[in-house]
Amino acid sequence: MKKNKISKDWINRQKRDIYVRQSKIEGFRSRAVYKLQEIDKKFKIFNNGKSILDLGAAPGSWSQYIVKNFKNIKIASIDLQKFEKIENVFQIIGDFTEKNYKKQILNFFEGKIDIVLSDMAVNTTGNKNLDSIQTSELCLDAMHFSKDVLKNDGKFISKIFVGSTFNEIIAESKKIFKKSKIFKPSASRKESKESFIICSMLR
């Protein structure tokens, strides 16, 4: 009964959500696109001719936004879940944390990358602290990978949950990047502990 109530509440919330409605009208696969759009407007992330890695990409709205708005982009998207292909996007279905998939990414770009995006998060367990810790581990993995693959003036943007590991991620970002900011887009739900860390300029 409790599971059915949660599902019903989720459906009702989706129906009321202006970002869900807007994404359907504009042809994007999820409301998450508006989080990236806000980040881009505030921090000027994207330009034409960039190489971009989209981690935790499914269902693909971030990659959609990039190829729709910018030209001469070289982009790879990876997720554990299968998602519909997007034109001009190199798609990988697999676990980013495994070495063989990281190797596929490196082989595709054949050099340093301009931007690494990560919207990776674990499937929620109901234990908010555990979910936060596990998602933070994904963020740190992506951050350390970015250290190796980004150009010196590259940018790293990742989902981050406010929780017990929040300060650890901030501290680690400052060791790797000269600039780091925390930003919560208005498209992120108020009750969510989700924010994004925006980093640039490798040390």
The residues assigned a catalytic role are 159
Q: Rounded to whole angstroms, how far apart are CA atoms 132 and 193? A: 9
Structure tokens given for 4: 């059915």
Residue 193 one-letter amino acid:
K
Distances (CA, A) of 124 to 19, 121, 127, 131, 135: 22, 8, 7, 6, 10
Contacts of residue 103, defined as CB under 8 A and 6 or more positions apart, other chains included, come to none
Peptide bond into 185 cis (omega under 30): no
Q: Rounded to whole angstroms, how far apart are CA atoms 23 and 16? A: 13
Length of the chain, in residues: 203
